[in-house]
Structure 1
Amino acid sequence: MRHPSLSRRSRRAAAALTVSLVVAGTAVACGPEDNGAESGDGNARPRQGGTLTVLNSDPQQDFDPARLYTSGGGNVPSLVFRTLTTRNREDGAAGSKVVPDLATDTGTPNEDATVWTYTLKEGLKYEDGKAITSADIKYGIERSFAAELSGGAPYLRDWLIGGADYAGPYKDKGKGLDSIETPDDRTIVFHLNKPEGEFPYLATQTQFAPVPKAADTGTEYEKHPVSSGPYKVVENQNDGERLVLERNEHWSAKTDEERKAYPDKIDVRSGLDSSVINQRLSSSQGADAAAVTTDTNLGPAELAKVTGDKELAARVGTGHFGYTDYIAFNPKVKPFDDPEVRQAIAYAVDRTSVINAAGGSSLAEPATTYLPNQKSFGYTAYDHFPAGDSGNPAKARELLKKAGYEKGITVTLTHSNAQDFETGPEIATALQDALGKAGITVKLKGLEDNDYSDTIHDVKTEPGFFLAHWGADWPSGGPFLAPIFDGRQIVKDGANFNTGFLNDRAVNDEIDAINKLTDLDAAAKRWGALDKKIGEQALTVPLFHPVYKRLYGKDVKNVVISDWTGVLDISQVAVK
């Protein structure tokens, strides 16, 4: 999946070198590299009150818990929708942990992790003062299966017994999913069709937010969803173009250790041009002094301008999100069916030039592993095809000769025409230049963005050599490796992400074995080992992990950016 908080349009704007101080919501290259924990007033003592303004490019559309990803919208949904579990609201790596939210703990599994039981905290209430019950959570999940409310995370359909054939409560005549039991108002039990040790992560998704059946208005629910969090929706204009949130008087901090809820009001204004957002944040005048943005990144030109401004440099947050940009191969297309050809390309890559094309070392970190370089993913360092900083063309030529291409080869690299730092022309050109030094002549084939995505994710049209990227739905190796390398997830009649068509029994079995583990630290180590093993096949060439820089207004306090989302956590911000 793409980074949910960094839109395609935002990335294009961030990469543009001609924009004037476009801080579109992230912050500064010369700023501190510690997630803003000691930057300027960002850590001044917070107080309650005031209005926080959120300036974003993309509208907060479909504001319905059934249709959202938890991390979507730069943390805005979690201000209104509480879930069984949530992310730990702390800086950096500490923020990669899953913690209780509506539930008393992160869940109790049976012996093989096919049954998970949760108990709700006492005293939980909606914005109207009514009690939140386990039946409300069950109903909230069931309505996410309705076709008209699609868009959320797909895991429940795959994991819950009966989920694959369930069509939602509007068609089941009140029967509901038998695999979700609510023996009393505070207990909810999930029955899965396979072991899933990472179910506590899944329970952070907004589909686990409670929805009172009597208040459900179907597709109209997004206009005024019933809040279980510290804020309620008082205004929703033009499908999320402007979203105004005010305090939910029935929310109690005693039941919520994660959300600080300092501001009295949060005004989310979206659909704005990136340059406008960044100029407003840099000027920080009037209400914009208490403003942030969560969906646009600083580009190289913006960083260069901010570098010389001490005041702006102090208002920067740095975020890391589990994300990898890489070269993908289709081994069914010659010459990429030959492992030595794939290895030769891996050796020929000049990561320094790729990093420069991605905006420089402040915006991208070189990658030789598929998993992101964070402990929660199980990061295990390896470099099977060491190319150094600038490539190893001699080794690449040697491998090509062994493969029967002594005079070199000519290949076509498919990329997006979008002007972004991930899969666009700049990255493609950098690779073209580097591979040319190894006798690999690269022809570039650029496709318009939508056509590009459709082409590379269709087994019938997937090219042999193209740029790709992947981000995890939660900070673990599971949602990173399984969609890309589990042979049972090859999709022949829809969007396919196993681009290397790997269907290795040993890999599939190891994925199943890890999924049984409820010790997430132990699971992480196994994911890292599996990544290292798969990497030997050179089905992908990792290039870099992006870094997110975000500027915030001068009156913004208590800046927290976790490695779970990589964006400033609105639930922690104060403006006084």
Structure 2
Amino acid sequence: MMSASSKLESFVSKSRLSRRAFLKSHALVLSGASLLSTQGCSHEPSGVAQIHMGVTARPRMLDPRQATDALSSRVNRLIYRQLIDFNESFETIPDLATWQLVSPTHYRFTLQMFPQFHHGKPLEAVDVVATYLSILDPSTGSAHRGSLKNIASVEALDQQTIDFKLVEPDALFVGRLVIGILPADLLQASYEFSKHPIGCGECQFVSMTEQRLVLKRSDAHELHFVPVKDATVRVLKLQKGELDIIQNDLSPELVNYCEKHPDLKATWHAGTSFGYVGFNFKDSLLQHLEMRQAIAYGIDRRSVINAMFDGHARLAGGLLVPEHWCGVAGLEGFDFQPEKAKQLIANLKKSGKIPPGLVNSEGFIELSYKTSSDPTRIRLATIYQAQLKSIGILLKIQSYDWGTFYSDIKQGRFQLYSLAWVGVKSPDIFQYVFDSQAVPPKGANRGFYQDALADQLISEATQTQDLAKQQALYRQLQTHLQDTLAVLPLWYEDQFMVARNTLGDVKMFADGRFDGLLSLKNNMGQ
């Protein structure tokens, strides 16, 4: 007999089902499963106030020098503190330290507090120096080294003061210093932070197993991050009280179901998460702009937003949202023009840029598309597959567990893939993602995009101290990245949260950070 989750996965794989039928199926599966469970909270009693958050997988990396995925980065914000932060307008603000510009290549930071690390030592300037020297050390293999390569030296002047000297001027330098600070004594001892992280943030590490990550807040509340791969099972556990809260990573149908459930509540917030399709520029087909354009014209993003996100997303043309100080108003990517896409493919075949051997016996160009095993992402892939087939592209979907999928992407083992950049605040992201020198492990140019004009614009923007000129350069860069299809921009997804009514109000953020968990109360006794 098929499980409830298996039945639902089988159901959603049928691409022509109506939204009403899909929602009805969810309701039947979920309500039927709930009858088999006991009512109310099923947390194991511990005498400690607990909040259980359902996540798609266990955080992959709790060492901030190595963390690049969204989940790890959000959890690390709770464990560690950083020199600076960003406000809701994407402007830099002090966290641990204030700063002053001594010269275009000299920044001085002054610690405003000396919080205690979780092993008892107070944070001092030497810890800041040790953290950044470790990132800059090639043997560390930090993915953030590329974005900090402009640091010529970092020095502690006294217990409170740190000097950063740069190779070249960089008006965005302050915004790069968002990595959690690690204790110098443990760095010197080659301590493995990924196994037992020690920071000076609001939450202290308690334990981590395959079943959960446990952090303890300063008020002794425990935060349990519980990996539940299947979205339907995640909602079932929320409904039964085994989980208290889920943020993102559910289909709109499941969110709608939660909104109608008497014990649950849902909240939406406009988001900045930038969804995109990535190309491998080393591929003999995708290196041609016309091929990438055909794919862009062949995907109907508006219909996908309405069908898949219930309108809770907006079209994207660049990595930064339009309201960002470097955003571009009206930049929304490629319109859906299937006939134009077909003509581009016909021209490619005629010109010989697509050799006959790359076209199958039915006349389709075959391309592979990698995605995670998340059901919503697989559904998106099947929509792309159907839309691209109509223009002459046969998309072969390859879905993997998150770890395998993300590893393949970081190592360039793909033709096409889809991911999202989340929590982006500073335009220095463009150097990290699109600069020709930022291929892994130096950066996140995973598609091996190489473009002289993009490199020039990035270089000029990072060197100028004139913010108005910098803004103009980044806007020009984003238009150029769209025109050359460095990636295929899809949309900015809204953030959402579903929770049990026993939880207090949760503060949400556009970048999806988990900071709202720091003050959240669970009104149901354990």
TM-score bracket, normalised by the shorter chain, equals 0.7 to 0.9
| Residues in 2 aligned to 1:457 and 1:215: alpha-carbon distance in whole angstroms | 26
Structure 1 segment 13-412 matched on structure 2, within 5 A: 51-60=50-59, 63-68=62-67, 72-73=71-72, 75-88=74-87, 93-94=88-89, 96-103=90-97, 105=98, 107-112=99-104, 114-122=105-113, 124-126=115-117, 131-144=122-135, 153-155=144-146, 158-161=149-152, 179-206=153-180, 209-213=181-185, 218-220=190-192, 226-233=198-205, 235-238=206-209, 241-247=212-218, 263-272=219-228, 274=230, 275-284=232-241, 291-294=244-247, 297-309=249-261, 312=264, 314-318=265-269, 320-326=271-277, 328=279, 330=281, 333-334=284-285, 339-355=289-305, 359-362=308-311, 364-367=313-316, 369-376=317-324, 378-382=326-330, 387=335, 391-397=336-342, 399=344, 405=350, 410-412=364-366
Taking a change above 3 Å as real, the CA distance of residues 120 and 500 of structure 1, as seen in their structure-2 partners, is closer
| Residues in 2 aligned to 1:328 and 1:21: alpha-carbon distance in whole angstroms | 39
User: Which segment is superposed worse, 553-562 or 518-527?
Assistant: 518-527
Taking a change above 3 Å as real, the CA distance of residues 136 and 423 of structure 1, as seen in their structure-2 partners, is same
Contact kept in structure 2, 1:87 and 1:204, CA below 8 Å: no
Q: How far 1:188 moved relative to its partner?
A: 0.5
Contact kept in structure 1, 2:368 and 2:414, CA below 8 Å: no
| Residues in 2 aligned to 1:229 and 1:545: alpha-carbon distance in whole angstroms | 29
2:449 corresponds, among 487, 495, 501, to 501
Percent identity of paired positions between Structure 1 and Structure 2: 17
Contact kept in structure 2, 1:413 and 1:443, CA below 8 Å: yes
Contact kept in structure 2, 1:236 and 1:242, CA below 8 Å: yes
Structure 1: runs of 5 or more not aligned? 1-11, 24-48, 162-178, 248-262
Query: Which residue number in structure 1 is paired with residue 425 of structure 2?
Result: 475
Contact kept in structure 2, 1:282 and 1:551, CA below 8 Å: no
Q: Which of the two has greater strand per residue?
A: 2
Contact kept in structure 1, 2:290 and 2:348, CA below 8 Å: yes
- Output the amino acid matched with 1:393: P
Taking a change above 3 Å as real, the CA distance of residues 50 and 470 of structure 1, as seen in their structure-2 partners, is closer
Q: How far 1:245 moved relative to its partner?
A: 1.1
Query: Which residue number in structure 1 is paired with residue 19 of structure 2?
Result: none
Contact kept in structure 1, 2:370 and 2:418, CA below 8 Å: no
| Residues in 1 aligned to 2:470 and 2:417: alpha-carbon distance in whole angstroms | 29
Q: How far 1:187 moved relative to its partner?
A: 0.3
Query: Which residue number in structure 1 is paired with residue 436 of structure 2?
Result: 487
Q: Please give the per-residue CA displacement for 1:368-393, whole angstroms capped at 9, x wherever unaligned.
A: x1324342372214568753xxx323
Taking a change above 3 Å as real, the CA distance of residues 282 and 384 of structure 1, as seen in their structure-2 partners, is closer
| Residues in 2 aligned to 1:331 and 1:240: alpha-carbon distance in whole angstroms | 39
Contact kept in structure 2, 1:133 and 1:186, CA below 8 Å: yes
Q: Does 1:442 align with 2:416?
A: no
2:460 corresponds, among 513, 519, 523, to 513
| Residues in 1 aligned to 2:260 and 2:309: alpha-carbon distance in whole angstroms | 17
Q: Please give the per-residue CA displacement for 1:508-544, whole angstroms capped at 9, x wherever unaligned.
A: 1210111124576764553232111232234543233
Structure 1 segment 531-546 matched on structure 2, within 5 A: 531-546=478-493
Contact kept in structure 1, 2:333 and 2:482, CA below 8 Å: no
Paired residue secondary structure (1:477):
coil
Taking a change above 3 Å as real, the CA distance of residues 135 and 510 of structure 1, as seen in their structure-2 partners, is same
Taking a change above 3 Å as real, the CA distance of residues 517 and 292 of structure 1, as seen in their structure-2 partners, is farther
| Residues in 2 aligned to 1:300 and 1:70: alpha-carbon distance in whole angstroms | 23
| Residues in 2 aligned to 1:338 and 1:69: alpha-carbon distance in whole angstroms | 29
Taking a change above 3 Å as real, the CA distance of residues 125 and 420 of structure 1, as seen in their structure-2 partners, is closer
| Residues in 1 aligned to 2:238 and 2:514: alpha-carbon distance in whole angstroms | 16
Structure 1 segment 551-562 matched on structure 2, within 5 A: 551-562=498-509
| Residues in 2 aligned to 1:363 and 1:531: alpha-carbon distance in whole angstroms | 24
Q: How far 1:302 moved relative to its partner?
A: 0.9
Q: Which has the higher contact order (CA 8 A, sep 6+)?
A: 1
TM-score by length of 1: 0.68
| Residues in 2 aligned to 1:74 and 1:484: alpha-carbon distance in whole angstroms | 17
Q: How far 1:79 moved relative to its partner?
A: 3.2
| Residues in 1 aligned to 2:333 and 2:466: alpha-carbon distance in whole angstroms | 32
Contact kept in structure 1, 2:96 and 2:113, CA below 8 Å: no
| Residues in 1 aligned to 2:332 and 2:432: alpha-carbon distance in whole angstroms | 22
TM-score by length of 2: 0.73
| Residues in 1 aligned to 2:67 and 2:517: alpha-carbon distance in whole angstroms | 17
| Residues in 1 aligned to 2:494 and 2:418: alpha-carbon distance in whole angstroms | 17
Q: How far 1:554 moved relative to its partner?
A: 2.0
Q: How far 1:211 moved relative to its partner?
A: 0.8
Contact kept in structure 2, 1:548 and 1:566, CA below 8 Å: no
Query: Which residue number in structure 2 is paired with residue 431 of structure 1?
Result: 384
Q: Please give the per-residue CA displacement for 1:422-472, whole angstroms capped at 9, x wherever unaligned.
A: 864x434433433454xx31122233537766666667x654xx2333415
| Residues in 1 aligned to 2:283 and 2:259: alpha-carbon distance in whole angstroms | 47
Q: Please give the per-residue CA displacement for 1:49-90, whole angstroms capped at 9, x wherever unaligned.
A: 9544444443346544544459644744333322211243xx
Paired residue secondary structure (2:149):
helix
